[in-house]
Structure 1
């Protein structure tokens, strides 16, 4: 305690430091849980690619998510309605990126590409996010964090090439892969904007407003898709699909991601994308009966320490 600092101020500062430490630990725990929520959307995209029109799935996914979130955000949204109107351009762009491109593009791409390729392409997004954060906002990684990025990337490569570097030269890319590249780029820009664009809105109210922007963007494309003859079947399975993607990879994943990003920053949080191929392999093993091979373990041995190093604060 300094001479100018009262015991009350010192106690408050100590309590703040304690809270910050526990908050960071929570963020690090959630960093390893969030990929499960996002991966569920990738797996679902492949499972229902021939059973539900892609744009309609993105539209109804976020419409239901908005309805579920509205009871918790309505009062705050109304209180901050003038601030939201001032930020309408940002909210519309964020909605187009996070709910439109990251939603519909993945479902469109899943029709002609595999869940493995989706995970592979999305795992590149941390590099793009770090580059964008550095170029536009001077957000940098320390050498130790850079080592973590490298280890994580090597782990991803080990998983993708199944322990055989020759697999990389034989990768083939379908039309769907380019849709996923678009979704990945949209995700990177969404993360950067979410972190750095000024806002007067509280977190939940801003998220609800962004979803609404995404719904507005998706609506005309959903109508066009329906007029073209692609309509979802009015069956229990359709309602279950929409309910799942609205609650797990929508509300759950995006809210947790926003919390972790607020604590750790855009660059370190983006590194959770490196866990996607690993989690896809484990989930395929548990849910689809695919064999868990040695390269998954090698990848995990590189990715997990890499995440730890990359998310450490510079000393």
Structure 2
């Protein structure tokens, strides 16, 4: 495998880190519903000249899977994005990235629960570590404070966003739709736009303004996050496989923290390093230690 192949998932994560920064910038400039709606409009407009004809030729397959595409669009492009933008109003970009990096672990846990996949030793140990790390992070170094007072709203919303995207990944694995990746992405974006449209119409006046501050944020979200990031990730999965690409998600908090310090003047605290490090270590263990948990129990029993 050429080393250049690893650039695809790496660059995808770079653009993903940029998207977290844009989400934070957008929090004070535009409604989460509005930027989610506008980014979908922009992405669909740019992709339509290339995909409308192939989708029309493949309409029978798309018609058979329309409800799976609709559910995928709801989870990955409407719910995940809107919750992420809402979370940015009350948490830091670094926290958002650390919670987002839990997606591979959450996907593995949901796969075990919903698809009957084997529970591995890595999932058990990594899950406990990651949960402890997140508690330490959102409690700013005091786990007791989280248990007593609860977590911040932004961190909770970001966790729900990560769960929505993890469920999306599990459902894709279960459905195995025979539709090319770009056509599937386009149709999911179209369904997500349908879901967001009534919410967009209900927005209060002044919360969906297009101006010199919001247009660049929408452009990044619609072009770099929705199209270029997707292209790099699809190419990475094609060349390296999903498991190798998933490991690159561990870089997301590191890259996001660097950008947040440089562009947003966010401080880097000790609890970010300790809690985030423990959480990411748990994710890495879950991804790499694949020994079945019950096999371990059986050997100990003997």
**TM-score, length-normalised on structure 2?**
0.76
Partner of 1:252: 228
2:5 corresponds to 1:26: yes
1:80 Cα shift?
Answer: 0.5
Paired residue for 1:222, among 190, 195, 200? 200
Give the Cα separation in 1 of the matches to 2:276 and 2:161.
25
- Larger relative contact order (C-alpha < 8 A, sep ≥ 6)? 2
Match of 1:132 among 86, 110, 115: 110
Is the contact between residue 102 and residue 283 of structure 2 (CA under 8 Å) also seen in structure 1? no
Distance in structure 2 (CA, Å) of the matches to 1:82 and 1:136:
29
1:175 positional shift: 2.6
C-alpha distance in 2 between matches for 1:32 and 1:149: 24
Greater Cα shift, 30-39 or 288-297:
288-297
- Structure 1: how far apart are the matches of 2:93 and 2:192? 24
Of residues 56, 79, 98, the one that matches 1:101 is: 79
The Cα of 1:152 is off from its aligned counterpart by: 8.3
What is the rounded CA distance, in whole Å, between the counterparts of 1:297 and 1:49 in structure 2? 24
User: How far is 1:255 from its partner?
Assistant: 3.5
Asked if 1:92 is matched to 2:78, the reply is no
Secondary structure of the structure 2 residue equivalent to 1:235 = coil
Distance 2:252 2:149 in 1: 18
1:239 offset after TM fit, Å?
2.0
The residue number in structure 1 matching 2:26 is 48
Q: Distance in 2 between matches of 1:105 and 1:58?
A: 10
Query: How far off its partner does 1:209 sit?
Result: 0.8
Q: Aligned in 2, Cα 1:258/1:138: closer, same or farther, shift over 3 Å? A: farther
Q: Note if contact 1:151-1:306 (Cα within 8 Å) is conserved in structure 2.
A: yes
CA RMSD of aligned residues (A): 3.8
Q: Give the Cα–Cα distance (whole angstroms) in 1 for the partners of residues 42 and 57 of structure 2.
A: 23
1:74-96 alpha-carbon deviations (Å, 9 max, x no partner): 22111111211111100111011
Contact 1:102 1:184 in 2 (8 A): yes
Unaligned runs of 5+ in 2: 292-302
Could you tell me which of 236, 240, 253 is aligned with 2:216? Answer: 240
After superposition, the Cα gap between the structure-2 partners of 1:292 and 1:114, relative to the gap in structure 1 and judged at 3 Å, is closer
Structure 1 residue 247, shift from structure 2 partner = 1.3
Aligned pair in 2 of structure 1 residues 72, 307: CA closer, same or farther (>3 Å)?
farther
Counterpart Cα distance in 2 of 1:285 and 1:239: 23
TM-superposed CA distance for 1:171, in Å, is 9.0
Q: 1:291 to 1:237 in 2, by over 3 A?
A: closer
Structure 2 residue corresponding to 1:265, chosen from 230, 235, 242: 242
CA shift, 1:246, in A, is 0.8
Equivalent-residue separation in structure 2 for 1:114 and 1:303 (angstroms): 16
Counterpart in the other structure of 1:231: 207
Counterpart CA distance in 2 for 1:238 and 1:180 is: 22
Q: Residue 66 of structure 1: CA displacement?
A: 1.3
Pair 1:259–1:197, CA change in 2 (3 A): farther
Shift of 1:185: 1.1
Cα offsets for 1:100-120 (capped at 9, x unmatched): 111111112212222233223
Question: Is the partner of 1:236 in helix, strand or coil?
Answer: coil
1:35 Cα deviation after fit: 2.4
C-alpha spacing 1:78/1:264, structure 2 compared with 1 (3 Å): same
| 1:283 is the counterpart of 2:247 | no
Contiguous gaps of at least 5 residues in structure 1: 1-21
- Contact 2:39–2:222 (CA<8 Å) still a contact in 1? yes
